[in-house]
Amino acid sequence: MEQRTYNQYCATARTLDLVGERWTLLLIRELLTGPKRFGDLRGNLRGLGTGLLAARLKHLEREGLVGRVTLPPPARTPAYALTPAGEDLAPAVLALARWGLTWAMDSPREEETFHPGWALLGLEACFDADAAAGLRAVYEFRVDDEVFHARIDDGAIDMVHGPAQRPDVSVTAGGEVLRDIAAGRTGLAEAVDAGAAVAHGDQEALRRLYRLFRLPRRRSRTGEGGAP
């Protein structure tokens, strides 16, 4: 597959030459929470055919953004992971997510799919480093059949796919609940109070968790009161 180029000596254009093709940034998004097998990527990206997925991964490998790894035991299966250059795209992807929460998110559409990891990355995009100052804690999120954990270290966050060894707080919720939290339709504390989510662990760490994510106010792209 021939790689298209803007043929511009510009940092933005050069970056878009690498990651501007359809599905490419979504592959980066999937790998931001850790290595994924080919089948995992195909399952999470409905609409991306097997051939095009393979082509996009080959492109990212060739450009030094993705590499092949072997998952640790008990899986021991081949997978794809971001290189340091690929990981350095995280702020750009999270900035796009934050922009989307402000300017692009309305009610879910009937044809849209959803995976919990997407909502967790949306929350990471709204992480309030000031609210996490001095906090060192591990939060585990069990959502439907998926498990993620967030490691907070004095204002920094690292969101990873998979269980935590010794979480300070564990949160269990359904995917729809997490989707509503990430979209700003409810809060985690409200979901726990209503019984829609269950949280247990260190009470001080739990109290701090409720303040760690500051979602932006949704705004209309077409003016006050106009629908996006």
State the CB neighbour count (10 A cutoff) for residue 39: 11
pLDDT for 1: 52
Percent of the chain scored above 70 by pLDDT?
97
Residue 118 to residue 55: CA distance in whole angstroms: 23
**pLDDT grade, residue 214 (50/70/90)?**
very high
- What global pTM score does this model have? 0.89
Question: Strands 156-161 and 146-153: what pairing?
Answer: antiparallel
Instruction: Please choose, from the candidates 91, 97, 104, the residue with its C-alpha nearest in 3D space to the C-alpha of residue 122.
Output: 97
- State the average pLDDT for the chain: 93
* Torsion sign, CA atoms 180, 185, 188, 190: negative
**Token pair listed for 96:** 């796009």
Q: Which domains does the chain have, with CATH numbers?
A: 11-88 (1.10.10.10), 115-209 (3.30.1050.10)
pLDDT for 106: 83
Query: Residue 84 above 90 pLDDT?
Result: yes
Which element (helix H / strand E) includes 67?
strand 66-70
Collapsed DSSP state (helix, strand, coil) of residue 142: strand
**Token pair listed for 129:** 């480093």
